[in-house]
């Protein structure tokens, strides 16, 4: 997962703010155009901000004045530490990350012009690093949702082929070649009526267990372990089918991919896939062994 540095992001965020400032300048009538634009940036500007400010002047824009900067930093921290929620490293949660950070960043990016307003040659607007954080955070929250969803019986993932490409650092075509009904990462073309109305003809659902297992098998991929206390609480409230799915998913995240996990606990990858798909109750010896092993993380998180 290729994450821009904080320095790169803050430089790019200031350029994004210049685009918003120039948008205000073009939208408002004089004298409010210059006045509001300058108050927005916190510095004096002559003409177009994106065109006329020096790099030193751009760097002087105080990001502490902008709430969007805090939300971008929160998302960056979640990605850098591979946290399972925006504010907690080991307890999965997506709602706060989406509602209090990602949705704000999505709106911010949606209001930016596609080209620099002073660029008569249609120079592209500079929003690459900030948009990259949005795309990575979107994919990462889909991963968290997939992990959490197993405890509620979800066998299909909200992750897409594009998400897996972002999280793995591989290109989309390579990921697509690994996906299919009988491939390493199983897919299903079945869609609800809502999906059919909104999704492209090429849209497929990715199998939740396969997606997380494939990511976990990559040597360069890391995700924080799930808090054993959180696992115990979810298992206590789950029905037998969801208990199976949740425990298998948490075991992959905490202990490793099925290729190494299965032989260590005397079952096969095919067994795990069948148990997960059909919601079969795990053999007692395997269930107890997995729970005992997972709980060894207690006190180390």
Res 26 pLDDT > 50: yes
Please state the φ and ψ torsions of residue 120, each to the nearest 5 degrees: -65, -20
Could you give the CA distance from residue 133 to residue 88 in angstroms, rounded to a whole number? 19
Are 45 and 142 contained in the same domain? yes
Q: Name the band, by pLDDT with cuts 50, 70 and 90, for residue 195.
A: very low
Q: What is the pTM of this model?
A: 0.90
Q: Name the band, by pLDDT with cuts 50, 70 and 90, for residue 160.
A: very high
Q: Which DSSP symbol is given to 206?
A: E
Residue 156, pLDDT score: 94
Determine which of 10-24, 140-154, 237-251 has the lowest per-residue pLDDT on average. Answer: 10-24
Are 110 and 233 contained in the same domain? no
Res 298 pLDDT > 70: no
Res 189 pLDDT > 90: no
Are 30 and 137 contained in the same domain? yes
Could you give the CA distance from residue 252 to residue 240 in angstroms, rounded to a whole number? 19
Residue 108, pLDDT score: 95
Residue 198, pLDDT score: 47
Residue 204, pLDDT score: 76
Domain boundary among 148, 167, 197: 148
Say if 260 falls within a structural domain.
Answer: yes
Are 283 and 180 contained in the same domain? no
Res 125 pLDDT > 70: no
157: Cα within 13 Å, side-chain hemisphere? 29
Q: Could you tell me which of 139, 81, 138 has the C-alpha nearest to residue 105? A: 138
Are 27 and 124 contained in the same domain? yes
Say if 1 falls within a structural domain.
Answer: no
Mean pLDDT calculated for residue range 195-213: 72
Query: Residue 24 to residues 32, 33, 112, 131: CA-CA distances in angstroms?
Result: 9, 6, 11, 21
Angle at 221 between CA 292 and CA 288, to 5 degrees: 10
Are 263 and 181 contained in the same domain? no
Mean pLDDT calculated for residue range 261-286: 95
Domain boundary among 168, 200, 222: 222
**Percentage of residues in the chain having pLDDT higher than 70:** 89
**235: cis peptide before it, omega within 30°?**
no
Res 260 pLDDT > 50: yes
Which range marks the domain in which residue 160 is found? 155-222
Residue 135, pLDDT score: 97
Residue 116, pLDDT score: 60
Higher pLDDT: 116 or 199? It is: 116
3-class DSSP state for residue 179? Answer: strand
Judged on CB neighbours under 10 Å (0-12, 13-18, 19+), 282 is buried
Please state the φ and ψ torsions of residue 92, each to the nearest 5 degrees: -60, 135
Total count of domains within the chain: 3
Are 180 and 206 contained in the same domain? yes
Say if 284 falls within a structural domain.
Answer: yes
Residue 255, pLDDT score: 95
Are 117 and 23 contained in the same domain? yes
Res 147 pLDDT > 70: yes
Res 301 pLDDT > 60: no
Q: Could you tell me which of 151, 133, 137, 2 has the C-alpha nearest to residue 91? A: 151
Chain segment 165-188, per-residue pLDDT in tens: 999 999 999 999 999 888 999 998
Average pLDDT, the chain: 89
Mean pLDDT calculated for residue range 77-102: 95
- Structure-token match 């996906």, residue found: 179
Say if 300 falls within a structural domain.
Answer: yes
Residue 46, pLDDT score: 81
Mean pLDDT calculated for residue range 57-78: 96
Strands laid side by side in the 156-157 sheet: 156-157, 205-207, 187-188
Res 274 pLDDT > 90: yes
- Structure-token match 């008569």, residue found: 120
Are 129 and 191 contained in the same domain? no
Mean pLDDT calculated for residue range 150-156: 95
Domain boundary among 148, 167, 190: 148
Could you give the CA distance from residue 67 to residue 55 in angstroms, rounded to a whole number? 22
Are 247 and 288 contained in the same domain? yes
Residue 124, pLDDT score: 53
Res 194 pLDDT > 70: no
Residue 200, pLDDT score: 47
């Amino acid at each position: 997962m290729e994450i821009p540095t904080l320095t790169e992001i803050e430089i790019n965020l200031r350029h994004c703010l210049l685009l918003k400032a120039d948008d205000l300048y073009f939208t408002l009538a004089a004298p409010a155009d210059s006045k509001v634009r300058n108050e927005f940036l916190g510095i004096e500007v002559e003409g177009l901000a994106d065109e006329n400010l020096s790099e030193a002047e751009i760097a002087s824009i105080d990001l502490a004045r902008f709430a969007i900067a805090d939300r971008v930093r929160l998302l960056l921290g979640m990605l850098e530490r591979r946290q399972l929620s925006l504010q907690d490293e080991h307890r999965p949660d997506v709602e706060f990350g989406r509602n209090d950070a990602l949705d704000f960043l999505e709106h911010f990016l949606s209001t930016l012009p596609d080209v620099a307003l002073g660029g008569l040659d249609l120079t592209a607007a500079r929003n690459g690093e900030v948009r990259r954080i949005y795309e990575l955070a979107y994919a990462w929250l889909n991963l968290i949702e997939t992990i959490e969803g197993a405890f509620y019986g979800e066998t299909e993932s909200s992750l897409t082929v594009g998400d897996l490409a972002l999280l793995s650092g591989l290109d989309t075509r390579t990921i697509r070649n690994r996906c299919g009904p009988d491939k390493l990462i199983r897919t299903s073309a079945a869609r609800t009526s809502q999906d059919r109305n909104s999704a492209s003809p090429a849209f497929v659902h990715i199998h939740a267990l396969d997606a997380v297992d494939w990511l976990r098998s990559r040597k360069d991929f890391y995700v924080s372990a799930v808090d054993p206390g959180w696992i115990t609480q979810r298992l206590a409230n789950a029905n037998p089918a969801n208990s199976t799915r949740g425990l298998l998913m948490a075991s992959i995240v905490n202990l490793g991919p099925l290729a190494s996990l299965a032989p260590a606990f005397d079952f096969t990858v095919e067994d795990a896939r069948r148990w997960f798909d059909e919601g079969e109750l795990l053999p007692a010896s395997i269930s107890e062994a997995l729970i005992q092993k997972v709980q060894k993380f207690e006190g180390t998180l």
